Amino acid sequence: GAGVSQTPSNKVTEKGKYVELRCDPISGHTALYWYRQSLGQGPEFLIYFQGTGAADDSGLPNDRFFAVRPEGSVSTLKIQRTERGDSAVYLCASSFLQSSYNEQFFGPGTRLTVL
């Protein structure tokens, strides 16, 4: 079956602009996670959803970052007033349930470059 997909694969934007990154999880997976990965680092947790609600958004760096999952499937990560430090690969993952014992399936990521 189809895996986790993310669009766009690459996004180049200018400092101060607004961007949206989209994640399509595996059908039937109730938990959805967003991570950010900088060069040479491991994925850094941002936020996760159980169904439509954000169960934990403690990893969002500041209030410029926001994510939604209105119908419990597709999720959008929104970044306002982008800064050069936001440049990274943004990864999305989904799992059948929110338990850590359930394997997370990752998408290929969106590479965001803020000029």
End-to-end CA distance of the chain: give it in Å, rounded: 37
42 binds another protein (CB under 8 A): yes
Which of 1, 27, 63, 100: binder of another protein (CB under 8 A)?
A: 100
Quote the CA–CA distance of 51 and 94 in Å, as a whole number: 11
Smallest gap, in angstroms, from Cβ of residue 27 to another protein? 17
Single out the segment in contact with another protein by CB under 8 A; choices: 20-28, 66-74, 78-86, 94-102: 94-102
Q: What six digits make up the tokens of 66?
A: 């926001």
Please compute Rg for the chain using Cα positions. Answer: 13
Q: What six digits make up the tokens of 99?
A: 């338990």
The site for another protein (CB under 8 A) is made up of 4, 31, 33, 35, 40-45, 48, 50, 55-56, 91, 93, 98-101, 103-109
